[in-house]
Amino acid sequence: MSQSIYFLGIGGTLMGSLALLAKESGYDVAGSDDPIYPPMSGQLASAGITVHQAFAPSDLDRTPNKIVIGNAKLPRGDPAVEFVLNQNLDYTSGAAWLGETILRDRWVIAIAGTHGKTTTTSMVAWILDYAGLNPGFLIGGVPKNFGMSARLGKSPFFVVEADEYDTSYFDRRSKFVHYRPKTLVINNLEYDHADIFDDLAAIQTQFHHLIRTVPSDGLIIAPEQSSSVDEVLRQGCWTPVSRFVALQENRLQRIDSDNGDLWHASTMKPDGSRFTVALNNTDLGSVEWSLLGAHNVNNALTAIAASRHAGVSASVAIEALCRFEGVKRRMELFAEKDGLKCYDDFAHHPSAIRTTLQGLRNHVGNEHILAIVEPRTHTMSLGTLRDDLCHCTAPADEVVWFRSENTQWDLTELVNGSLTAASVEHDLDRLVDRIGTRVGDTCHVVIMSNGGFGGIYDKISERLSA
């Protein structure tokens, strides 16, 4: 009889992916959550995993061997959590289960940082797969090259998106401390997650816990110019460090003291759609792809460096990236009509909003860009980064801030302080109508949210096809 496992909060990005890995590993898998939306709902259904809408004690009449408790919306006091504790059932966190069950004997390549984790993890997984290494992976999104967010793979390598958010109600450490990577990428480091971290220093402490887990024969890949990352490394580092930087007009002069490799783009088109990869001032080849923005060039450099550490030559990695199709919900064109193009982007931080819009601006020139932003993350909904939000949409011609029910501050502050023509909207249908008036114009509408945005994507598609 197979071992059984039950996931509380199975619809989350991490938990749903863990359920897929458990199913592939031969477990009898079930779980519960609030209503689950695509793409995770489709992946779970395709895998034949039983999903209950909301938890009921009867779900556990047949006691599973293990219960995995997610960290989203599952605090003490939640009926499911209280039932598990009162019945003295065997439970763990998602990150701990992943580390102990899936990653323990693998060569773990972990991608950490405030931005770019999902895209970079997807790139590394694709490069290793293209090279014939058949890696396992767990990604907080769906790479178009794979069509799935997680798989076990059939090689020693496992690529994991390493999230700094806390593990569970009973383990307040960041998830990534459970992963024990041999290859660690730190893309960048900024203040985020204001609901659990008081300041940047609190996040840096967690990143240093992560660095302490990397073996001395491993590799850390870090930005060439990042004071916040350097402060973490100065707290103690026992592992070689390679550096990366996206764009330098001239040959690079080293400014760090690590004496490790330096990856950079020796030439780059302004929109990031083509760039030459260089290692220590030696050009290795050029990437030409559909992705935009200097941030994605950075992501690519780290992916090539991480893959090289796993034994893939830079030339093969570059060839793979030229065939990289991107990730769903990362500047994904989902509707267009008569000059109007609508994109879905999983923006979750002012810096990500700015770099994404700047990449599009460099690509489309003077064509009109309308950014529609739902400040939905805990950090943005609390107004913690409101000063940065005022300026992050500057590459756009116009911005509409959508105020949902969870927004806990007055978004008119953004309108008053904006460098871009700005307005606030709270009616979804009216917003869709407003977008519809752009049909016939040359206009790029970027919908930026890390949630379902009330189904706005289907509403826009339906409106444009009517």
What one-character-per-residue DSSP string does 221-262 give? Answer: EEESS-HHHHHHHHT---S-EEEEEEE-SSPPPP--SS---E
**Do the domain assignments include residue 327?**
no
**The predicted structure's pLDDT at residue 244:** 96
CA distance 130 to 141: 19
**The predicted structure's pLDDT at residue 73:** 78
The pLDDT confidence band at residue 318, using thresholds 50, 70 and 90, is very high
The pairing of beta strand 421-425 with beta strand 398-402: parallel
Residues 30 and 89 in one domain: yes
pTM of the predicted model as reported, rounded to 2 decimal places: 0.91
**Token reading at 316:** 């093969």
pLDDT digits (tens, 9 = 90+) for 447-457: 998 878 889 99
CATH, residue 430: 3.90.190.20
**Do the domain assignments include residue 86?**
yes
CATH, residue 18: 3.40.50.720
**Token reading at 70:** 């997610």
**Do the domain assignments include residue 199?**
yes
Residues 273 and 345 in one domain: no
**The predicted structure's pLDDT at residue 71:** 84
Residues 284 and 199 in one domain: yes
**Do the domain assignments include residue 10?**
yes
**The predicted structure's pLDDT at residue 237:** 97
Does pLDDT of 370 surpass 90?
yes
**Do the domain assignments include residue 43?**
yes
Does pLDDT of 256 surpass 60?
no
Last residue of a domain, one of 45, 75, 94: 94
Amino acid residing at 189: L
**Do the domain assignments include residue 326?**
no
Residues 308 and 279 in one domain: yes
Q: How many domains are contained in the chain?
A: 3
Question: 185: Cβ–Cβ under 8 A, 6 or more apart, which residues?
Answer: 109, 110, 111, 112, 113, 120, 124, 220, 221, 302, 303, 305, 306
CATH, residue 128: 3.40.1190.10
CA distance 135 to 299: 19
What is the chain's mean pLDDT, rounded? 91
Last residue of a domain, one of 66, 94, 122: 94
Nearest by Cα to 27 from 80, 101, 89, 81: 101
CA distance 111 to 290: 22
Residues 241 and 150 in one domain: yes
Question: Which residues on neighbouring strands pair with residue 278, listed in sequence order?
Answer: 264, 283
**Do the domain assignments include residue 67?**
yes
Residue with tokens 């990150």, as numbered in its chain:
95
Residues 313 and 341 in one domain: no
pLDDT digits (tens, 9 = 90+) for 173-183: 999 999 999 99
Does pLDDT of 139 surpass 50?
yes
**The predicted structure's pLDDT at residue 410:** 77
From 73-77, 82-86, 166-170, the region with the lowest mean pLDDT = 73-77
**Do the domain assignments include residue 430?**
yes
Residues 154 and 264 in one domain: yes
pLDDT digits (tens, 9 = 90+) for 92-120: 999 999 999 999 999 999 999 999 999 99
Residues 312 and 181 in one domain: yes
Does pLDDT of 418 surpass 70?
yes
Sheet containing 4-8, strands listed edge to edge, beginning at the edge strand earlier in sequence: 50-53, 28-33, 4-8, 66-69, 91-93
**The predicted structure's pLDDT at residue 319:** 98
The pLDDT confidence band at residue 247, using thresholds 50, 70 and 90, is low
Nearest by Cα to 274 from 287, 259, 262: 287
Last residue of a domain, one of 53, 76, 94: 94
Residues 343 and 292 in one domain: no
Does pLDDT of 435 surpass 60?
yes
Average pLDDT value for residue range 399-406 = 84
Does pLDDT of 257 surpass 80?
no
Residues 272 and 174 in one domain: yes
pLDDT digits (tens, 9 = 90+) for 28-57: 999 999 888 777 888 899 999 999 998 999
Residues 13 and 127 in one domain: no
**The predicted structure's pLDDT at residue 252:** 52
Backbone angles phi, psi at 237, to 5 degrees: -145, 125
Domain containing 398: what range?
332-465
Backbone angles phi, psi at 277, to 5 degrees: -90, 130
Residues 264 and 300 in one domain: yes
